[in-house]
Copies of this chain bind each other. A is one copy, B any other.
Amino acid sequence: MKFEAITIKDIARALNLSVSTVSKALRGSHEIGEETKQAVLKYAHEHNYKPNPIAQSLKKGHSRSIGVIVCNIDNNFFSQVINGIESIAQSKGYNVIITQSRESYEKEISNSEHLSSRSVDGLIISLSAETKNIDHLKRLHEKGLPIVFFDRVTDEIPTHRIIANNFKGAYEATRHLIQQGCRKIAHVTSSDSLSITAERLAGYKQALLDAGRPIDGRYIKFCLHGGMIREETHQALAELLQLPERPDAIFTASDRLSTTTLSQLRTMQIPIPCEIALVGFTNSISADIFNPSLTSVVQPALEMGQQATEMLLSLIESRRPVTQFEKRVLETQLQIRDSSQKRSC
């Protein structure tokens, strides 16, 4: 099956003009007479002519499309970011090609190469949990592909970055738990190679320090797959619960980790918040109907996507090489709900 569309040639033939004349008329060139121009425009419109973007891309050397790599779209944070990306991209006439790394280093590489060879004009990416080496992105960047990092970023590549204030978000979450009277606050987080992990961990630690609490490594658990594998989270939880002094609060550092933890604490029939208080780091739109409703740090995901796209497009459309790079930090918000409030116990 083949999709046949009307081309500039068809118009030229029908109107007995040359291809170049039609092309110029379509673009409103001054070198085409008003009469001819109108005729072309009229015919084109009547026959619903749409320039072939493939041909245009080939000719112009860009595709007016941008690539996105996230670990998983089945995640409220990322799907909201993508909404932001799409809204800006669409308004500026860019296509968005979304791919998922599924937290796999290999897939991240193949996706990035696939996208670049598909001539995307730029890339918006949040690193996978497995990614420790970013040579594949360096290569592309050095060859001139504009890249913007969001959320899980790296400073090894000189380009724009945009993240949430993970440190502060984690700090506030932890401080909140402290204020609730929790004494043993555990932190369940993702792969330690991720920037967000380090930032959130630092916020957690600082809050403890500022409250004069000790930092105990046994209360910090890394889940390399960020909650995507239930057993992993389950294992981490089990270890926490077997500690001589059981934690009376858990601060989870990612979307999936938060829901998985909540789910598993419930199957273990551990009362939340009374036995264990819980604060998540999630953009779930359903956090308020969880049982118990989940206190969480939420990120301005939509805005992050929008701003990332704006930064990328400015890179793409910049006439001269950009040398000044920005690192934007968006504020998070702590939404306090039942899962962390000890006073009701």
Hey, which bits of chain A sit against chain B, CB under 8 A? 1-5, 50-55, 57-58, 61-63, 65, 73-76, 79-80, 82-83, 86, 95-100, 113-114, 116-119, 121, 140, 143-146, 259, 262-263, 266, 284-286, 288-293, 315-316, 318, 321-322
Contacts and interface: CB of A to CB of B under 8 A. Distances in A.
Oligomeric state, in number of copies? 2
A233 B76 CA distance: 21
Contacts of A259: 285-286, 289
A54 B98 contact: no
23 contacts: A2-B61, A2-B62, A2-B144, A4-B144, A5-B117, A50-B113, A52-B58, A52-B117, A53-B119, A54-B58, A54-B118, A73-B79, A73-B82, A74-B79, A74-B80, A75-B79, A79-B79, A95-B97, A95-B118, A96-B97, A96-B99, A259-B286, A289-B290
Contacts of A289: 259, 262-263, 266, 290-291
Contacts of A62: 2
Nearest to A319: B1
Nearest 8 interchain pairs by C-beta: A291-B291, A50-B117, A74-B79, A3-B144, A54-B57, A3-B145, A54-B58, A263-B289
Contact of A3 (B55, B75, B116, B292): B116
A318 B74 contact: no
A140 B2 CA distance: 11
A113 B48 CA distance: 10
A267 B113 CA distance: 48
